[in-house]
């Protein structure tokens, strides 16, 4: 039975999710009024021609006299939608609309959801490059690994606007902020920690890279075949790159092997870690089990062994949620008219996010709420300042 026929019921709107989504979650609203012929002559012809001619003569004026510098494209091919997998561009559109809604709600950033029907890396890269003159930034979303790494890399090389893959870098920023504060709660430094990451997809590899750059002592990463190490056969380029900078102890075998005596577990995959394995972790362990809706270690189990527990869910303390990162990161990058989002800008965002907790730090409060009004101003200011320090700001 097709998806259409399964869901073509007349009572769908009895489900509040369907009722909310009817007609979509977005609309375009003008920023100027056109009430008479004089307004029309300025907003459109002939007045608009003077603005177009000025931009043609001085292309930099496009940032001042259009919305380009204030709008982000939210781009997907629907190949790796969270919790749903490869569902295609049309089915992914409600998620992209939701992302745009969060951009506006939390960061005051306008964005356009764009679901592409593309067959491969070359198609996606070329399509985004061709439409890039309309946008001040590109947010890649729900694109499958490993091609998401190549797409981001090539777009960053070819475009002079920020390119950000939120599944990678948004998750990594929030995870680093949470781990900084979790280490403080347990009286340790990041460099003291040995961590284990479950999952070597886009988010798992990006989190690993950022935690290493942020100062975590050592991290072992596991994929479906076990621990990743330098000489393991069959690693794709992204995993091979991570193997070269992680797992200093050279651990091999299963994730259970690595978790024995580990200080930190970070879950970014499906699957369950048995309680007997959790029990082998070091005293005062930190568990960030971020799979949704079922964490790799349920908080009821994790709290028996860990000093700090975080999940990706909103109904438990310490939710590690990308919405804490991407609106502020893009707000800051757009405010600075940045040409790129550098690694230092991501680290600055994580520091700003962690610092908001301040003296209220506690095992059940290592990361601010998504609805904390301080988050976007703090993150955006830190990102914009770092963009200027890194020489990628144009404002």
Q: Which domains does the chain have, with CATH numbers?
A: 67-161 (3.40.50.10380), 169-311 (3.40.50.720), 325-389 (no CATH)
205 conformational bin, left if phi > 0, alpha if psi -120 to 50, beta if neither: alpha
In angstroms, the CA 11 to CA 166 distance is: 35
Identify the CA nearest to 264 among candidates 317, 190, 316: 190
38 is in an annotated binding site: no
Identify the CA nearest to 285 among candidates 300, 268, 265: 265
In angstroms, the CA 40 to CA 395 distance is: 31
Long-range contacts of 317-320 (CB under 8 A, 24+ apart): 317/364, 317/365, 318/178, 318/288, 318/364, 318/365, 318/366, 318/367, 319/367, 319/369, 319/370, 320/171, 320/174, 320/175, 320/178, 320/288, 320/290, 320/367
First to last CA, the chain: 55
Enumerate the active-site residues.
44, 99
Peptide bond into 96 cis (omega under 30): no
Beta bridge partners of 267: 198, 289
pLDDT for res 245: 96
pLDDT for res 10: 58
pTM (whole model) above 0.85: yes
pLDDT for res 270: 77
Structure token pair of residue 93: 């559109």
The contacts of residue 342 (CB under 8 Å, 6+ apart) are 386, 387, 390, 392
Identify the CA nearest to 322 among candidates 294, 282, 349: 349
By CB atoms closer than 10 A (0-12, 13-18, 19+), residue 293 is exposed
Contact 21, 94 (CB under 8 A): yes
Q: DSSP secondary structure string, 256-316?
A: HHHHTT-SEEEE-SSS---HHHHTTSPTTEEEEE--SSS-SS-HHHHTTTEEEEEES-TTS
Owner of token pair 């303390």? 317
142 is in an annotated binding site: yes
In angstroms, the CA 305 to CA 302 distance is: 6
pLDDT for res 9: 57
pLDDT for res 319: 96
The contacts of residue 195 (CB under 8 Å, 6+ apart) are 179, 211, 216, 217, 218, 219, 220, 262, 263, 264, 265, 266
141 is in an annotated binding site: yes
Q: What is the pLDDT along the chain (395 residues), one digit of tens a residue?
A: 344 444 555 577 788 988 889 889 988 889 999 999 999 999 999 999 999 999 999 999 999 999 999 999 999 999 999 878 899 999 999 999 999 999 999 999 999 999 999 989 999 999 999 999 999 999 999 999 889 999 999 999 999 999 999 989 999 999 999 999 999 999 999 999 999 999 999 999 999 999 999 999 999 999 999 999 998 999 999 999 999 999 999 999 999 999 999 999 999 987 899 999 999 999 999 999 998 888 999 999 999 999 999 999 999 999 999 999 999 999 999 999 999 999 999 999 999 999 999 999 999 999 999 999 999 999 999 999 999 999 999 98
> CA torsion, points 127, 130, 135, 140, in degrees to nearest 10?
20
Structure token pair of residue 304: 């028996």
């Amino acid at each position: 039975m097709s998806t259409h026929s399964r869901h073509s019921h007349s009572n769908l709107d009895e489900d509040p999710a369907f009722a909310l989504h009817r007609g979509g979650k977005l609309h375009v609203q003008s920023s100027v009024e056109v009430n008479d012929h004089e307004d029309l002559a300025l907003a459109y012809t002939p007045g608009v021609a003077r603005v177009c001619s000025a931009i043609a003569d001085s292309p930099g004026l496009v940032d001042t006299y259009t919305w380009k510098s204030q709008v982000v494209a939210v781009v997907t091919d629907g190949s790796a939608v969270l919790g749903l997998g490869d569902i295609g561009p049309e089915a992914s559109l409600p998620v992209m609309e939701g992302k745009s809604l969060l951009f506006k709600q939390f960061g005051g950033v306008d964005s356009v959801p764009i679901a592409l029907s593309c067959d491969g890396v070359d198609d996606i890269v070329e399509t985004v490059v061709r439409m890039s003159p309309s946008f001040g930034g590109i947010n890649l979303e729900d694109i499958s690994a490993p091609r998401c790494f190549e797409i981001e890399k090539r777009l960053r090389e070819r475009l002079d606007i920020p390119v950000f893959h939120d599944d990678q870098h948004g998750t990594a920023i929030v995870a680093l902020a949470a781990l900084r504060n979790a280490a403080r709660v347990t009286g340790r430094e990041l460099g003291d920690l040995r961590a284990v990451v479950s999952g070597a997809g886009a988010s798992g590899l990006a989190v690993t890279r950022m935690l290493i750059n942020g100062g975590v002592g050592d991290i072992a990463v596991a994929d479906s075949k076990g621990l990743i190490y330098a000489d393991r056969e069959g690693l794709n380029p992204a995993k091979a790159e991570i193997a070269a900078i992680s797992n200093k102890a050279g651990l091999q075998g299963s994730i259970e092997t690595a978790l024995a005596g580990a200080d930190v577990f970070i879950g970014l995959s499906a699957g369950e870690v048995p309680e007997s394995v959790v029990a082998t972790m070091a005293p005062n362990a930190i568990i960030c089990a971020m799979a949704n809706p079922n964490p790799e270690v349920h908080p009821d189990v994790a709290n028996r062994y860990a000093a700090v527990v975080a999940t990706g869910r909103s109904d438990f303390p310490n939710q590690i949620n990308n919405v804490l990162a991407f609106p502020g990161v893009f707000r800051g990058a757009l405010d600075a008219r940045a040409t790129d989002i550098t690694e230092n800008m991501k680290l600055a965002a994580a520091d700003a996010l962690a610092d908001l907790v301040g003296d209220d730090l506690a095992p059940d409060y290592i990361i601010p709420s998504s609805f904390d009004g301080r988050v976007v101003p703090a993150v955006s200011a830190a990102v914009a300042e770092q963009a200027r320090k890194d020489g990628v700001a144009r404002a």
